[in-house]
Structure 1
Amino acid sequence: MKKRFFIFLCSLLIFAFSCSDDGKNNLLYQYHSPEEIESFLDEVALKYPNITSLDTVGYSQEGRAIRALIISDRDYPSSTLPDPEPRVRFVGAIHGNERISAEILIRLIEYLTYNYEKDPTITELINSRYIVVIPVLNPDGLAADRRYNSRGVDLNRNFSIEWIYSSTSGSSPFSEIETSSFRDYSLGKIFHLSITFHGGAVLVNTPFDYGRAREGVAPAENDLVWFYAKAYSTSGNFLNNPDLSQYSYMEDGVINGGDWYIAKGTLQDWSYKESGCLDLTVEIARRNPSTESEVEQIFLYNRDSIINYIKMAGYGVYGYVKKDTLPLEGVKITVYYEGGFEGDIYTFTDSRGYFNRILKSGNYTFKFTKDSMEKIVNLSASGHGDYIEIDMGN
């Protein structure tokens, strides 16, 4: 018996295989347990200390660690603060029975770390982005091969936006230790772009989940949301997946969450409305594949889309806000589009005064506010990363 376990192309691969009647080897896939994934993350951090480090997001109801692997060249290796770079988050296994969502992130970690200083595109991304991968948000569910956590709660119904009580949504928003830990961790990092991977369909699902876009329930910046969603779906081979879902109101593999089906208290709606981070729900497979080659193919359908998405975290406007010579933390950045309408992705500066705001090319008005201070600046964005420094003392 063999079973795939450690680093792709570099470390031990343990596979389970059987022989078909015609004599050909069919590699059967054995999904990783939470403990095996934790060991894998430890192994990666040891093998690539210059570009990886480990965080503990929190712990599950049963005491399992929820781990995050940071992939970045770390401009400030001695600091516990995230680097002042576009910050991208990837999350898997929020539903424990959607095991493929964790496996694709194992492969992403392998692909990024192995190709650093080999592939110029990957090297540049790791040098210029702060990438955080949380392969398993629901380790108890993964261990038991069930959707819910160990208290029977669907973690993707336990966030605060339009939360409603049900037998599986928890006693209140963030009642579960997994979701409250994730909330606190994410708010501390100030992410700018994110994907949560799921299984059960093949599509890209956009905010909002709690209402139908066709009935007017959509982000104010829905055009920007769909720009990023379509960039994912049309990059690489995502649309070549023969299992691609087909629904009304779906375009290029993208659909508004509520137009697919309404769900309340979801991660992506919370991320957008309360943390200023665009999170897409990407459904990558209708079922958990049974063979090694099928799992690998799911990754290949998504690999180039993920790489492009990481790149696009740097599209828009970034820079620093200070008062005289001191960095200003907690400055709110509000963007107004041509025509005067206000964007609804609100981001804040970190303790270094750094901010990053995803945007398409165009003309915008930026408003920087903190306490009684306010500064308004008109900007023309190229859409490929424009730098600005703001002094609130002048």
Structure 2
Amino acid sequence: MFLKMNNLLFSLHLLLLASSLSSSLAKGGAFQSLLPSDFNDRINVSRARRLLDEVESRARVDLAQGYMTNSDLERVIKEFGQRCSNISRIYSIGKSVNGVPLWAIEISDKPGEEEPEPAFKYIGNVHGDEPVGRELLIYLANWLCHNYLKDPLATLIVENVHLHLLPSMNPDGFSLRKRGNANNIDLNRDFPDQFFFANNDEDSRQPETKAIMNWLRDIQFTASATLHGGALVANYPWDGTIDKRTYYYGCPDDDAFRFMASIYSHSHYNMSSSKEFIDGITNGAAWYPLYGGMQDWNYIHAGCFELTLEISDNKWPNAAELPILWKYNKMSMLNLVASLVKTGVHGRIYSSGDGRPLPGFITVSGINYTVRAGGTFADYHRLLAARDRYEVVATMPGYKSKNTSIWLDEGAMTLDFVLDPEVSIKGSVLQNVYDCNCDSKSKLEFVQFLWGSHFEVFFIFIVILGFLCLLFQRRKKVKQSTGAKRTVVV
């Protein structure tokens, strides 16, 4: 009995001590001196960490609820490919760090075939914690599939653009609910940069970055956009400045980019009414400079005009808001793609000699940027701001360049070029720099014939032949691109 009483008294003593200790810890009383000096900090940090872990755990469950998992996304993409096989092609551009395929959808009336048409790409989920884009791109694909041949805008896009959708560039970051990929690398800082060369070693880049770069080597995209979250604005190059300071730093095609960004902003439910960004658009460097971004790399290295679109103030909104966000962004996403054929200058480059396509180059006077024509059809698609006069120049090694002035209004223009081979006299030899494979003896015989007694006859023959070629060029029929108001051949 005595032992039981002692145990009871000891337990009561401990209980009172604990009660007093707890009270002292809460109020900072006398018992504080009996404890280690950092005891309170340890308790508070431990509690804070437990609370933070609990909040993050709940947040991860709550945030992901209603969003497609990576497995869901793969299944939905493949089902779309089966359901809309007449206008789509499903393929992978590579894999993430953890081996998740980076699935892409091509939408066209001739998917997988090369045509003299512009190509556009949308990329979502560049940052793992910004998943709205991956959901909206599935909305976009389904809308085009359901409305092809029913809605004029859907039909225009499907029949005149090769549209490629990459819903998730960063599936690992999405699974981890964090910005970077599985290696904790921000993929929008992992591309080669024009000012700083830390990313120039391609072998050291992330697999997702390499996949994008190889994708653009395979397909010549005219324009593109990435979908982000955390703000509401259409962002355009340049993204960085040479001295890392924040100020407006425009690229050579600043007018064209502002025009593109305005198409998205003004088609949006409320982006253009932004109080933070005038007209709902911003130059990237004027907002905040970043380096190694995908937007600038596209323009510099791939000939692709890319926008960075912030489409939701909340990075990870409740899934119930996704239909509303699709409604707000729907016309913006459609009109931006359609602008590839509804605005700008488009055409092909031919040889006057035999009419074959020439994979030449297009420049615009006063703009330090070159657009390359396609290798197969020699088609080019030059984005330019409307309501202005431009001098367009076509060049091709071994051919005489040609230029013409145009006035670009609200519509698109088809402008085809027919280039004449360069003919030069080296010493006494009349030579086509591309087509003549004569040996020395043949050259000598040709010179003797040309400068001999037959020169006058030969000269008259050349004049008549040139006149006939001119007539042939004028009569030649050239296909007119869809959406263009007028066709010009020079």
Name the TM-score, length of structure 1 as normaliser. Answer: 0.82
Instruction: Report whether the alignment pairs 1:328 with 2:358.
Output: yes
- Give the equivalent residue in structure 2 for 1:342: 367
> Mapping of 1:158-173 within 5 angstroms?
158-162=190-194, 164=196
Structure 2 equivalent of residue 376 of structure 1: 402
Q: Deviations over 1:291-337 (max 9, x none)?
A: 443111111111111111111112111121233332233x222111x
Of 344, 354, 379, which aligns to 1:316? 344
- 1:203 has 2:228 as partner: no
Pairing 1:65–2:101 present: yes
Determine the structure 1 residue equivalent to 2:419. Answer: 392
Structure number with higher helix proportion: 2
For the structure 1 residues 174 and 265, does the alpha-carbon distance in structure 2 shift closer, same or farther, using more than 3 Å as the test? farther
* Secondary structure at the counterpart of residue 279 of structure 2: coil
Of the three residues 38, 42, 47, the one matched with 2:83 is 47
1:51, distance to aligned residue in structure 2 (A) = 0.8
Matched with 2:389 is: 363
The residue number in structure 2 matching 1:255 is 282
SS in structure 1 of the partner of residue 267 of structure 2: coil
Rounded to whole Å, the distance in 1 between the matches of 2:176 and 2:120 is: 29
* Cα deviation, residue 90, structure 1: 0.5
CA 236–290 in structure 1, closer or farther in 2 if over 3 Å, else same:
closer
Residue 184 of structure 1 corresponds to which residue in structure 2? 214
Q: Give the Cα–Cα distance (whole angstroms) in 2 for the partners of residues 151 and 53 of structure 1.
A: 30
Counterpart residue type for residue 294 of structure 2: L
Q: 1:149 aligns with which of 164, 181, 194?
A: 181
- The alignment partner of 1:35 has SS state of helix
* 1:238-269 Cα deviation digits (max 9, x unpaired): 4388xx5x43xx31111111111110010111
Specify whether residues 50 and 230 from structure 1 end up closer, same or farther in structure 2 by C-alpha distance, changes over 3 A only.
same
How far off is 1:89 after superposition?
Answer: 0.9
CA distance in 1 between counterparts of 2:390 and 2:96 reads 43
Closer, same or farther in 2 for the Cα pair 1:61/1:389, shift >3 Å? Answer: same
Answer yes or no: is the 8 Å Cα contact 2:246–2:287 preserved in 1: no
- Seen in structure 2, the aligned counterparts of structure 1 residues 174 and 328 have a Cα distance that, compared at 3 Å, is farther
Give the drift of 1:216. 5.6
Aligned to 1:17: none
1:296 aligns with 2:326: no
Residues 170 and 353 (structure 1), Cα distance of their counterparts in 2 relative to 1, 3 Å cut = closer
How far residue 165 of structure 1 moved from its aligned partner, in angstroms, is 7.4
CA distance 1:29–1:50, shift in 2 (3 Å)? same
Q: Which runs of 5+ in 1 are unaligned?
A: 1-27
Task: Show the counterpart of 2:147.
Answer: 115
Of stretches 259-268 and 119-128 in structure 1, the one that deviates more from structure 2 is 119-128
Larger proportion of strand? 1
**Contact (CA 8 Å) 1:209, 1:257: kept in 2 or not?**
yes
Q: Against the structure 1 CA distance between its residues 373 and 178, is the aligned structure 2 distance closer, same or farther, given a 3 Å change threshold?
A: farther
Separation (CA, whole Å) in 2 of partners of 1:237 and 1:173: 42
Q: How many residues align?
A: 352
Return the alpha-carbon distance in structure 2 between the equivalents of residues 253 and 277 of structure 1.
22
CA change 1:267–1:207 in 2 (3 A) is same
Cα RMSD (Å) of the superposition?
2.6
1:228 maps to amino acid: M
CA shift, 1:215, in A, is 4.4
The answer on whether the counterparts of 2:362 and 2:394 sit within 8 Å (CA) in structure 1 is: yes
Identify if the C-alpha distance between structure 1 residues 197 and 383 changes in structure 2 by more than 3 Å, giving closer, same or farther: same
Structure 2 counterpart of 1:93, which letter? N
Deviation at 1:284, TM superposition (A): 1.1
Name the SS of the counterpart of 1:208 in structure 2: coil
Corresponding letter in the other structure for 2:223: L
Q: 2:297 aligns with which of 250, 270, 273?
A: 270
Q: Within the alignment, does 1:351 sit opposite 2:376 as a pair?
A: yes
Q: Determine the structure 2 residue equivalent to 1:284.
A: 311
- Confirm or deny: 8 A CA contact 2:229 2:316 kept in the other structure: no
C-alpha distance in 1 between matches for 2:203 and 2:251: 21
Partner of 1:105: helix, strand, or coil? Answer: helix
